[in-house]
Structure formats: structure tokens, C-alpha cells
Chains A and B, each alone.
Chain A
Amino acid sequence: AQTVTQSQPEMSVQEAETVTLSCTYDTSESDYYLFWYKQPPSRQMILVIRQEAYKQQNATENRFSVNFQKAAKSFSLKISDSQLGDAAMYFCAYRTPQGGSEKLVFGKGTKLTVNP
């Protein structure tokens, strides 16, 4: 079974600085999707960024970028120029390849605090 591990229960960053959240996963599949979701106190999960495993290029969305290391099964999230609104729980998630079960497998999350 696939597993996702987030080894940092909590992280903090100064406003305008850069922070990296770690994620590792375990799978025997060669093709899959990886995601980072943000969950503010409202509880709604918001997609931050996604990566297809067959793409070598790391995904980027504005201030958010990933470092995808397929051989190491590592998928870290870098947040640049951190803003107060970035404070939330961040979850790394894995999804099986197209045509398989559509379920997401989540890590336990990292609580990010942004200090003014």
C-alpha cells in the first residue's frame, strides 16, 4: 500500500522569507500524481500544486514550487516570500495512476506558522 510521510509536524517562517516543507512517499508504481494541499481553519482543502510523476520538470505556481526527486521518492514544497495568509496546515498527497482507484493518500500534515 502507498504511504505518505511528513516528518515535520510544525514549521515556522518569518514573513517574506522562504520555507521548505518535506514529504516522502512509498510506492511500487512508476506513474502517479503528487499534490500539496493547504487547509486553513475553515477546514476546506485547497490545492496548492500538483506534479505528474512522468514529468521531470518541477511544478511551479507563483510563489510555490516543488522539488520532485523520483528516485528518492521525495516531494518537498518551497514557499517563497511567505505571507501571513500562508499560515495553515499543509498536506502532501499521492494518487494512484489514471485508471486505478481515484483515492488520495495523505500525510499527517505540517502546521505552518508565519511570523510578522
Chain B
Amino acid sequence: GAGVSQTPSNKVTEKGKYVELRCDPISGHTALYWYRQSLGQGPEFLIYFQGTGAADDSGLPNDRFFAVRPEGSVSTLKIQRTERGDSAVYLCASSLQGSGTEAFFGQGTRLTVV
């Protein structure tokens, strides 16, 4: 595609529910990143994929958060038993191969847990 696409743009869910956030990277980009941006803060790293594998998942805050990229393209961030503190903008980025190449960001998914 022309750019990184994230769906949905906005998501409201009830506390305790399960949510999935989708990221469709730029075609041919092997590196994919998820970040979380809380109100008034800069983005915080969650996880980095190189191809299908998670090369660095050190930013995932706890075991309620999980991400997959089964075919090395589209990625899904999954949050179980959502909490109000999970409310944030979730940003996805992709780059051609990581390692010095520019990362292009999507417009994010704003998650609100009520």
C-alpha cells in the first residue's frame, strides 16, 4: 500500500474485554514496530518484528499484551482483559529492513477503555 494502515482508527471497549488492533505495513517492509502513546507523552516501544519473528518484545508491559505477524506482513496487537490504563494511541511503523532505514508510521489506533 501507499502507507502504513492501521485499523480501526478509534476503538472504545469495556474494561475486561479483549481487543485486536491491526497494522498493515508498507508492501515489502520486513521490519514492523508497535508503540504506545499515552496522553501527553512520547511514544513508548512495545515490540519489534523482523519478518515473522519478534526480534525484541521487551516493551510489552505484561502478559495481557501479545502481538503476531504470521506471514511477515500484517500484524495484530492483542490485548486481553483490558484495563482503563490501557487507554492510549497505539502506533505502528514499518521500515524496509530495519538497521538504519527510515521507519514510516501509521496514524494510530486510539483505544479507550471505559
Residues of A within 8 A of B (CB): 4, 33, 42-47, 50, 91, 93, 98-99, 101-109
Q: Which of A99, A101, A102, A106 contacts B43 (CB 8 A)?
A: A106
Q: Find the B residue at minimum CB distance from A47.
A: B102
Total A-B residue contacts, Cβ distance less than 8 Å? 60
Q: Assuming the A-B contacts A33-B100, A44-B108, are A103 and B59 also in contact, with contact meaning beta carbons closer than 8 angstroms in the complex?
A: yes
B41 at the interface (CB under 8 A from A): yes
Contacting residues, chain B, for A44 (C-beta < 8 A): 105-108
Residue pairs across A and B with Cβ atoms less than 8 A apart, 30 shown, are A33-B100, A43-B89, A43-B91, A43-B107, A44-B106, A44-B108, A45-B105, A46-B105, A47-B103, A50-B102, A91-B42, A91-B43, A98-B100, A99-B99, A101-B55, A101-B56, A101-B58, A102-B31, A102-B48, A102-B56, A102-B95, A103-B33, A103-B45, A103-B58, A106-B43, A106-B44, A108-B40, A108-B41, A108-B42, A109-B42
